[in-house]
Amino acid sequence: MPRTTALDPLFTSVDSAAFTDRHLANLAAGTLAAVRVPDFLDRSTRTSALAALHRLPTADYHPARVPTPIVRFGPALNDYRDSPGTLNARRYWHDAETARTAWHRAGLRPDPIAIALARLGSAWGAAVAPATICGRAVFGGTLREINAGALVHYDSITREFPAGLFDQEVVAQLAFNVWVSVPDTGGATTVWRHRWEPADELHREAYGYRPETVEHCQRVSLRPQPGDALLFDPANFHAVEPNPGGRRIAFSVFLALTTTGQLIAWS
């Protein structure tokens, strides 16, 4: 049966010339679905980033876990989660330091992640700080090339590590993406007004869920243009549409609002 027949008038996406503190607060409060800033990165910055990509050691996800090919650079904390919801610290810190070294050696100038964090911190009124574990800064900033699409899924650091992971206490999580290359058609990001509930496990598929999980849920879909930046709450189920040709390449980072009103970042 449908989960709902009425639409939430607050679950909308907006385009803006820049991110603001109100955007961040509304996303954290669940009174906005997504915020897109067109031309967040100019052509020169995108060209420089693309020229440096071959210097980053990218790899594919293991096909048993991620059935649609996704090229990536940078460790994601969720990939180092052991079955009880704890971090495999030895593996993670080794790969985080390796990635940090590779990022610096690649010489991304300007650095898309540094630009993003500086502007988001300016919007919030305080610099974005790295999330820390036992006082140690985690890696922040990834590259993803998603051409075959991504399954319906959600991201929630508090569900992935229910006993807690960061030194900071997380109130709400946001996902940031900025595209340096997009296909002519396809590749849209869709965000549904639905958060995980136990019944969803009946529709589990690899790292995500089958489409029927959200087929009756309100949604917003946005197809990126080169240089666009997008912020949304990744606890809402979301997916990426396949594209028939071209390359869909984005730099990404997670953000969180903490109990002290700070913005922190990780990947």
Q: CATH number of the domain at 114, please.
A: 2.60.120.620
The tens-digit pLDDT sequence of the chain (267 residues) is 455 568 999 999 999 999 999 999 999 999 999 999 999 999 999 999 999 998 999 988 755 567 778 899 999 999 999 988 999 999 999 999 999 999 999 999 999 999 999 999 999 999 999 999 999 999 999 999 999 999 999 999 999 999 999 999 999 999 999 999 999 999 999 999 999 999 999 999 999 999 999 999 999 999 999 999 999 999 999 999 999 889 999 999 999 999 999 999 999
What would the pLDDT profile of 12-62 be if each residue is shown by its tens digit?
A: 999 999 999 999 999 999 999 999 999 999 999 999 999 999 899 998 875
Residue 137 domain-assigned (yes or no): yes
- Is 2 inside a domain boundary? no
Residues 6+ apart with CB under 8 A from 147: 69, 183, 187, 242, 243, 246, 247, 248
Q: Is residue 1 part of a domain?
A: no
Q: How far apart are CA 56 and CA 260, in angstroms?
A: 35
For residue 156, CA distances in Å to 109, 134, 170 come to 31, 20, 10
In a domain, 203, yes or no: yes
Confirm whether 98 is domain-assigned: yes
Q: What is the pLDDT of residue 68?
A: 77
Report yes or no on 8 lying in a domain. no
Look up the domain containing 211 and give its range. Answer: 13-266
- The one-letter code for the residue type at 223 is R
Q: Give the pLDDT of residue 145.
A: 96
Number of domains in the chain: 1
- Neighbour tally for 34: CB within 10 Å: 24
Q: Is residue 5 part of a domain?
A: no
Is 26 inside any structural domain?
A: yes
Q: Which residues have CB under 8 Å from 131's CB, separation 6+?
A: 137, 138, 140, 166, 167, 168, 256, 264, 265, 266
* Largest separation between any pair of C-alpha atoms in the chain: 53
Round to whole Å and give the CA distance between 184 and 225. Answer: 9
